[in-house]
Amino acid sequence: MDYRKLGQTDMEVSILGYGASPLGNVFDVCDEQEGIDSVHLAIDHGVNFFDVAPFYGETLAETRLGRALKGKRKDIYLATKCGRYGLHDFDFSYDRIIRSIDESLERLQTDYVDLFQLHDIEFVSRQQIVEEAIPAIQHIKASGKARYIGLTGLPVRYLASLAREHEFDTVLSWAHYNLIQDEIMDELVPLSKEKGFGLMNAAPLVQRILSDAQIPVWHNAPAEVKAIQAPLLALCQKYQVPLSDVAMRFAMDQEAISTTIVGMCDLNMIQSNLRAFHLQMPDGILEEIAALVAPIKNKMWFEGLPENDLRTEL
């Protein structure tokens, strides 16, 4: 496994991060024992960054990850989140976030997390994030219950606007650095270098578009973006490599991003992602992929309050 420093923290994180949302049955039902075994296998192969949230499975993922990490907590870096607790359940009030860390610590069976993050900030007002949520996580950091603090979300322009005005240790952007999206490079990557925060990339398979799995019916991507899956699969078949392996290797190769977080919950997923880590990219494949996806490149959907969509202002 390879490692990169996460911003100005003391964490050297694996470039492959364990996304624990599938432990909460987010995509499919996950067998708990296999989920626990997958955590142990990932650790055995050098994965040391684990990311979870109360939202995933309505606390189930945190609970299962806590069980899996018994006896192994000091071997890894553990990140969780606050503010989002259900599909439409958002509460970034000061008091709720203060309670949230204690609830997460109990489920995770630990007395601290390495990173505590505001989860999907685009769904509430900027005023509440600034006046309540940020002071709350700052207080939690000062208390020692979290060593570092960060924010997460989908719209990279909005993430950058908050990270420019406030101090965070990390920023997690999802679905914005992969074979069909690279908007993260425009503003957020340069800002991370300027201000020194660590940058993380999640959902490198864009919620299954860049894999051979069936795209979920709830996927918000435009139809033409989802339709790119079939020709990409055919192209990768020509090169005799799995599309998901190419997508994972491509994401992990970006040195400006400390870790690429992908959802895992079973042994096959771990083995697939480890295979992708060792992939030698076939000559010419990335050039062909770039030409194929050019018509839909960076056609990203938006989620959250309309006033937090800053794309038209830049």
Catalytic residues: 56
Which residues contact residue 92 at a Cβ distance below 8 angstroms, ignoring those fewer than 6 apart? Answer: 82, 83, 118, 121, 124, 128, 129, 132, 133
Per the CB < 8 A criterion, the answer to whether 232 and 243 are in contact is: yes
Q: Say how far apart CA 159 and CA 161 lie, in whole Å.
A: 6
Asked whether 257 and 201 are in contact (CB, 8 A), the reply is yes
Taking the C-alpha atoms of residue 66 and residue 70, their distance in angstroms, rounded to an integer, is: 7
- Give the closest residue to 167 by CA, choosing from 202, 201, 203, 142: 142
Residue pair 110/73 in contact (Cβ under 8 Å)? The answer is yes
Say which amino acid occupies 31: D
Q: At 286, which amino acid appears?
A: L
The token pair that represents 162 in the structure block: 């908050």
Q: What CA–CA distance (Å, rounded) separates 249 from 245? A: 6
